[in-house]
Homo-oligomer: A and B are copies of this chain.
Amino acid sequence: MLERIHHVAFAHAPDAPIHEVLEQALGLIVAHEEVGDGFIERMLPIGDGYIQTLEPTGPGLVQRFVDRRGSALHHVAFSVADVRAVVESLRLAGVPLVEPAPRRGGMGTQIAFIHPSATGGMLVELVEGGTRPDDAT
């Protein structure tokens, strides 16, 4: 069902621009930047996946997470071939989702989040489509 790790997301305070640190310390480079609802997401390719950084720009989920937890790993995302089919299969299995149907994510993807109550507190995102690092860079 899950193909690979698509990205690992790290939410950080606006005054802690971790993408700059990751570039200087580890050589990871921001290949894509996109404005979301109350945050900026940045994608740093690594292998066939990404590190994603989430910077809050106003009220919303990312700001609330950073207020509560500080800068911390936020979620892990897995590539799937057909997110609608996986969501339907999870629904039939009684696994709760954050939203009832997949929606548009960054980089032209379709995404869905499994509710953390179903995964012992780990926020899991499912990602279909979009460019791979080889295409994006």
Contact = CB atoms under 8 A, between A and B. Distances in A.
Interface of A: 1-5, 8, 10, 12, 16-18, 21-22, 24-28, 46-49, 51, 69-76, 78-79, 90, 93, 95, 114, 118-122, 124
Nearest to A20: B120
Contacts of A72: 69, 72-73, 121
SS class, residues of chain A in contact with chain B: mixed
A79 B69 CA distance: 27
CB-based closest 7 A-B pairs: A4-B47, A18-B120, A73-B73, A71-B121, A16-B120, A25-B95, A1-B27
Contacts of A78: 26, 46
B46 A5 contact: yes
A71 to B, nearest CB: 4
B121 A16 contact: yes
